Structure 1
Amino acid sequence: MAILANLHMSDPAKSAENDQKKGTDDYDHLHRVRPLMEMIQLNCKAIYHPRQHLAVDERMVGTKARLSIKQYMKAKPTKWGLKFFVLAATNGYTIDFKLYTGKSKTASGKGLSFDVVAGLIDKGNLGSGYIVYTDNFYTSPLLYRHLRQQGLGACGTYRQGRVGVRTIQENALTKKSPRGSIRWIRDGDLLFVKWMDTREVSLCSTIHPVYSGDTVQRWKKTGDGPHQLISIPRPTTVTEYNMGGVDTSDQSTGKQGDGPPLFSSIL
């Protein structure tokens, strides 16, 4: 704690100037740690070049510090802390990250989810040919078509009713649809797939076929007899999404302890 109290990552004089801007749009919440963050980001990109499959997700770093940028996420194991948007490889390695500090002054007008993914995908560093996996917060036709124009594939779960998502009621899945049922619709270069497992699963992809012969084992009760293990068809998008590593980054972090992380201590 004594070392942290005397540790400055930025110029103290410039930090004082930034403090005077509190309450204005010009105030930089991360001024004191920005040099350190940029150094870490540069080294993350330089030390390891990832393989084809990438994932974008949120990562919470727990802290008890009193910070205006601290966030709450109900679905995460660490519910209160600093919220990072992370681009990760399937082995959990962090390729790049962005600390969320609230509404951005440089927003494109296409939505936070679009700006996050577009900002994390550095084509100049990565090149093309990668496949990006996202959850339903990020997945949108606008984003996926943008990634395709950049030479990148995309696959992820999507929210019904999102702008640009094609929906039809004819031949749609219902609660009575048998397990393993598959429905799909194409919209140009986008494929929307629905699959009935224990519940309905919806995925969108720009690179995968509907079905390539994959199956998965499930228990099924047959009449009054015991449960039997049966094979049901599984769409290619579901198989590839499960291997895409969307949650691996969170799992590698684990639940944080009581000690505050370095960023929150400096802030």
Structure 2
Amino acid sequence: MIPFRGRLSFRQYVKGKRHMFGVKVFKLCLKGGHIYNMMIYCGKTEPISDLVRNSVVMFLINDILENGRIFYTNNWYTSTTLARKLLEKSTHLIGTLRRNRKYTPKNIVNAKFKKGELLVLQTKDGISVMKWRDKRDVLFLSMLHMDTQNEVRHHQGQKKKQFAIIAYNSAKSFIDVSDQMSSYSSVIRRSIKWNRKVAVEVILGTSVINSL
């Protein structure tokens, strides 16, 4: 979020963000926080749907498809519809999944587990929807993993965790590193128009981080 509280038709409110009001920017980040592509959300006349989420992802990664890459998305983007679109482009998807996302199997959503138990359902085209019980239920989608587990260090010792979750936790830090580096020395000032704020953020924020 690029903070802005003035009048703007596509100003967004996102609860939980440090700056709740402002211009929403979608980013595609690589390892180390490098920003590969970005897109400013300019608003829609219709409510946000799966089609909007899918179009955002396809826009950000359009020029690097067809190469067998792996993309990690949070539960706002992840869906079986997006997974099938990427599969057609020889691209893989891994991400957490919302319970109410369309086409998510109801039997896996409603399943009750004890801690450590896992249920995996896989389609004929290799898309796996998994539910794993840790401290709470974790629902996620993977096009590369089934039920493989790996041991990780825990404050109480060694602990087994699903390999898909380990990979996702590692990759989701890419965007966090980018935002963290940008926050150390913010170039945003209060008394400028929204378009100048966006321009300053892109020129002096994003470009400097990428150069580093």
Instruction: Give the shorter-chain TM-score range.
Output: 0.7 to 0.9
Q: Secondary structure at the match of 1:91?
A: helix
Residue deviations 1:143-175 (CA, integer Å, cap 9, x gap): 01111111111100001132111232699334x
Structure 2 equivalent of residue 243 of structure 1 = 170
Residue identity matched to 2:166:
T
Q: CA offset at residue 240 of structure 1? A: 0.3
Show structure 2 runs of 5+ residues with no match: 199-212
Residue identity matched to 1:217:
H
Aligned equivalents of 2:17 and 2:109: distance in 1?
37
One of 182, 189, 192 as aligned partner of 2:118: 182
1:149 aligns with 2:88: yes
Aligned residues: CA RMSD: 2.9
1:264 aligns with 2:195: yes
Aligned equivalents of 1:120 and 1:73: distance in 2?
21
Structure (1 or 2) with the larger CA radius of gyration: 1
Say whether the 8 Å CA contact 1:65–1:260 is kept in structure 2: no
Show structure 1 runs of 5+ residues with no match: 1-59, 219-228
Give the TM-score normalised by the residue count of structure 1. Answer: 0.63
Q: Secondary structure at the match of 1:114?
A: helix
Q: Secondary structure at the match of 2:190?
A: coil
Q: CA offset at residue 83 of structure 1? A: 0.3
One of 133, 142, 162 as aligned partner of 1:196: 133
Q: Percent identity, please.
A: 27
Higher-helix-fraction structure: 2
Which one scores higher on RCO, CA 8 angstroms, separation ≥ 6? Answer: 1
Residue deviations 1:14-46 (CA, integer Å, cap 9, x gap): xxxxxxxxxxxxxxxxxxxxxxxxxxxxxxxxx
Q: How does 1:1-267 map to 2 (within 5 A)?
A: 60-103=1-44, 111-123=51-63, 125=64, 128-168=67-107, 172-174=111-113, 177-178=114-115, 180-188=116-124, 189-218=126-155, 229-245=156-172, 247-248=175-176, 249-254=178-183, 258-259=189-190, 264-265=195-196
Residue 161 to residue 187, structure 1, CA distance change in 2 (3 Å): farther
Give the TM-score normalised by the residue count of structure 2. Answer: 0.77
Aligned equivalents of 2:6 and 2:96: distance in 1?
34
